[in-house]
Amino acid sequence: MARNNENTRHSNYVIRIVCEGDKTEPLFFTSLCDLYFKDNDGMDVRTIPQPLIPQDEETDNSPRGSYKGKKRKIKTDGKDAADDVVITGVPPLKWVLYARQILSEGVDESWAVYDKDKHPKHEEALAEAEKIIDGKKVNIAFSSRSFEYYLLLHFEYIYYSFNETECGERIRGKKLIFECGTGKNPEKDCGGKNCINGYARKQGYWQETKSSESTFPLVKDNLIKGMVNACRLRAESDVNTEEPVYNRNPYTNVDILVGRLIGKETVSYDSTFECKEHGCDWSVRLSKDGLIITNSKDGDEFFRKGMFVVYDWEENIGRELNDNALLLQPGEVILLPCQLEPTQVISIKVTLERELLLLPKFAIWHFNL
């Protein structure tokens, strides 16, 4: 289908990330894409809305990468794509419906990024996203309590139900925040027990997430840690409750979108991953005894030397699990013995653009503030 939406351009593949907010998430994903897709002419990845960043896309010397100034200007036929999108309707359904709309206008892949908050249409949004129309569906990157919980997982693993992103009170229609964790309002400071940002400030992780500065520089060196912790959190959530994801707290799957953009995919412990690309038909599963590899195709399957690596994401070091190339006959199953530490994963480079991260078994977390 020809791309006729002004938010798309002619590229090999177009991805649009429809964000609930106009600061935190757009700034984060724009920073990520500037790093990973800067020289990739075949991929057109942008957020809707576009964030407030300088036209020259230069950052200051702030460790967070400050993006201050006018909206990024993307000209299409004399119009400004950064200012032309007004999404109306009931949240979060309206963001999913818009993501659906742009799929029909030529976008190849769309994501809706939003938080739990107190939105009324979570069930309807999820149902709409699951519909497959013309071979496409809307992907959802959801966080509860909010996107800040996903950021928190880059610093530590925590399974805790925060009630707020930021404690505060409304005065004449405007929210006055208490800046919990700073001690500026000692009588109202929750000390990080009620709000995510209060906890982050108390731990020294960050001070603010709702400014015109991108939060991506805070976590860009710990993206794998964030993905591992988010996958672990979902597994623990599945054990703790059978509630739909939009009723859970905590919960996030934003890491799946991040992994999609940086070419990495997590696989939880004891889950089977099947590879059926480029003529392959094999599967892997991490068990208590090690990595189980199965060849399911009619012919032999070849695995190059060092394809399977035990990677420690804290120390940033790897160890080859297969010292030699492997040749599996049809139907053959082999075991590569290994025992992983909590900071280790099995890394498998399926292609140059795609890497699997198989997670170890984690203990169920009990956390009290």
pLDDT reported for residue 157: 97
Residue given tokens 């979570």 in the structure block: 122
Q: Residue ranges per domain, the chain?
A: 13-150+216-262, 168-203, 272-358
Do residues 25 and 33 lie in contact, with contact meaning Cβ atoms separated by under 8 Å? no
pLDDT reported for residue 221: 97
Say if residue 145 is preceded by a cis peptide, omega within 30 of 0.
yes
Backbone angles phi, psi at 108, to 5 degrees: -80, -35
pLDDT reported for residue 73: 37
pLDDT reported for residue 172: 85
Give the separation between CA 93 and CA 323, rounded to whole angstroms: 50
Structural class in CATH, domain 272-358: mainly beta
pLDDT reported for residue 167: 97
Q: The tokens of 219 are what?
A: 């976590």
pLDDT reported for residue 261: 98
SS (H, E, C) the chain: CCCCCCCCCCCCEEEEEEECCCCHHHHHHHHHHHHHCCCCCCEEEEEECCCECCCCCCCCCCCCCECCCCECCCEECCEECCCCCCCCCCCCHHHHHHHHHHHHCCCCEEEEEEECCCCCCHHHHHHHHHCCECCECCEEEEEECCHHHHHHCCCCCCCCCCCECCCEEEECCEEEECCCCCCCCCCCCCCCCCEHHHHHHHHCCCCCCCCCECCHHHHHHHHHHHHHHHHHHHHHHHHHCCCCHHHCCCEECHHHHHHHHHCEEEECCCCEEEECCCCCCEEEEECCCEEEEEECCCCCEEECCCCEEEEECCCCEEEECCCCCEEECCCCEEEEECCCCCCEEEEEEEECCEEEEECCCCCCCCCCC
Do residues 48 and 16 lie in contact, with contact meaning Cβ atoms separated by under 8 Å? yes
Residue given tokens 């994903």 in the structure block: 29
SS (H, E, C) 226-261: HHHHHHHHHHHHHHHCCCCHHHCCCEECHHHHHHHH
Total-model pTM = 0.90
Beta bridge partners of 337: 290
pLDDT reported for residue 61: 45
| pLDDT tens for each residue of the chain, 369 residues long | 334 454 544 568 999 999 998 999 999 999 999 999 988 889 999 999 998 765 554 444 444 443 333 344 333 333 344 455 889 999 999 999 999 999 999 999 999 999 998 899 999 999 999 999 999 999 999 999 999 999 999 999 999 999 999 999 999 888 899 999 999 999 999 999 999 999 999 999 999 998 889 999 999 999 999 999 999 999 999 999 999 999 999 999 999 999 999 999 999 999 999 999 889 999 999 999 999 999 999 999 999 999 999 999 999 999 999 999 999 999 999 999 999 999 999 999 999 999 999 999 998 766 666
